[in-house]
Amino acid sequence: MVEERKPVIGVLGAGAMGSGIAQVAATHGHSVVLGDAHPAACDAAADRIARSLTREVEKRRLTRDAADTTLERLNLVHLPSAASCDVYASCDLVIEAIVERLDAKREAFQALERVVPRHCVLASNTSSLSIAAIGAACQHPERTLGIHFFNPAPVMPLVEIVPGIQTDNAPLTWSRDIIDSWGKTTVLALDTPGFIVNRVARPYYGEALRILDEGLASASDIDWAMTALGGFRMGPFELMDFIGHDVNYVVTESVWTALHYDPRFKPSLTQRRLLDAGLLGKKSGRGFYNYGPGAERPKAREDAALGSAILNRILAMLINEAIDAVYLRVTTAADVETAMTKGVNYPKGLLAWGEEIGYSTVLAEIDRLHDEYHEDRYRASPLLRRLVRENRSLLR
């Protein structure tokens, strides 16, 4: 019996995300073309993948032979110009993972479309840009879509699958089947700013920053409340420092702008000033916290009443956002639960959490904030009000 040929996978962009995606595809038996415009990025990707596979061998999750075979499937290519995209001519799926700029992605898709076969699916790993806008640069936008991995791609299980308004069902289904075959958990998201995770998670940062800006609590107080009382793996400020303010702030601003300056997503000037000053977080040695030699993190007050107030406020905003995502058909109730637990490791699905504490309690907190501030930032989702009025669940 002749074994069916596995699709050839192309990845454009050899940074941390692109090399991670390439590693996942090669590990699952695909020949992979990984290209980048910068020779140093290609060299770094080769080293990054080799070290990652070695760690898998050391942890006995992969044999040395399997790791070597995976490396043999990878073809790293320096792309000195757009014309060099002809190295992707044999690919069945190409995933773009370059800089998060619409003009750059559109140009990349145009260059790829000129050389790939007609059946080849073109996907973007964008975290928040419009798939419709990227695909519109192509003559055949019906074969374009979003395939959004989370960093590090070999480790994180979640992948958001995002059809554009032009995307045909056949390439969408085929691509999702491929990603599922890599052992990933896929969720389907509407082509809206931030998709599921980067939309629903905004209050985790935004409301924490608002509490800090008001002087109600310190960064350490808030991080303590969310980890010690809420069970989150990292508090919002240590997480923003870990992600980097050049990434976290930019995503917040992108979602806010794309959603027509909705006050629920308004960025914080405090975080903006850190970005302006080049204090990007852990990567620069300082952000909300100092990561220099001998630096100690300020201690939290560990006040139970204050901590509960912080947790309840941020959690109510998160649950309201998750419910609103279902209300606006960004995704399904089941997929928003999967996305937030597997994409950002929340301790519970937000809808389940809301039902545990009571949607009426969540609504009361949102309405309390609105009464206090008189800002549209604190508006309850119409679906939340409906759920409370009808005493209804989204999960049963």
Per-residue pLDDT of 177-206, as tens digits, reads 999 999 999 999 999 999 999 999 999 999
Can 345 be counted among the known catalytic residues?
Answer: no
The yes-or-no verdict on residue 1 having pLDDT over 60 is no
Task: Tell me: pLDDT of 13 over 80.
Answer: yes
Nearest to 354, CA basis, from 370, 369, 365: 365
Residue that is written with structure tokens 């903006």 in the block = 272
* DSSP-assigned letters across all residues of 103-158: HHHHHHHHHHHTTS-TT-EEEE--SSS-HHHHHTTSS-GGGEEEEEE-SSTTT--E
Condensed to tens digits (0 to 9), the pLDDT of residues 376-389 reads 999 999 999 999 99
Residue labelled with tokens 């691509």 = 175
**What token pair was written down for 285?**
């040695």
Structural domains in the chain, sorted by start: 9-188 (3.40.50.720), 199-390 (1.10.1040.50)
Catalytic residue among 124, 148, 207, 238: 148
Question: One of 96, 160, 238, 365 is an active-site residue; which one?
Answer: 160
When pLDDT is cut at 50, 70 and 90, the band that residue 2 belongs to is very low
Q: Residue 286: which residues within 8 A CB-CB, separation 6 or more?
A: 279, 292
216 phi, psi to nearest 5 deg: -75, -25
Q: Is the pLDDT of residue 91 over 50?
A: yes
Dihedrals phi, psi of 197, to nearest 5 degrees: -65, -50
pLDDT at position 83, please? 61
Q: What is the DSSP letter of 300?
A: P
Q: Which amino acid is at 304?
A: A
> Percent of the chain beyond pLDDT 90?
94
Task: Tell me the average pLDDT across 65-89.
Answer: 89
pLDDT in tens, 17-36: 999 999 999 999 999 999 99
Give CA–CA dist 322/351, Å, rounded: 7
Q: Which of 319, 78, 313 is nearest to 207 (CA)?
A: 313
Tokens at residue 291, please? 């990561």
Question: Is residue 148 annotated as a catalytic residue, yes or no?
Answer: yes
The pTM (predicted TM-score) of the whole model is 0.94
pLDDT (0 to 100) of residue 82: 58
pLDDT 10s digits, 290-321: 999 989 999 999 999 999 999 999 999 999 99
Residues 327-377: tens digit of each pLDDT: 999 999 999 999 999 999 999 999 999 999 999 999 999 999 999 999 999
Residue 198 falls in the annotated catalytic set: yes
List pLDDT tens digits, range 223-271. 999 999 999 999 999 999 999 999 999 999 999 999 999 999 999 999 9
Q: How confident is the model at residue 3 (pLDDT cuts 50, 70, 90)?
A: low
- Nearest-angstrom CA–CA distance, 131 and 137: 10
- 269-294: pLDDT as tens digits: 999 999 999 999 999 999 999 999 98
Residue 114 has pLDDT above 50, yes or no: yes
* Four-residue CA torsion sign, 336, 222, 356, 185: positive
| Residue among 128, 175, 198, 381 flagged as catalytic | 198
Catalytic one of 125, 127, 175, 248: 127
Mean pLDDT of all residues in the chain?
95
In the residue annotation, 253 being an active-site residue is answered as no
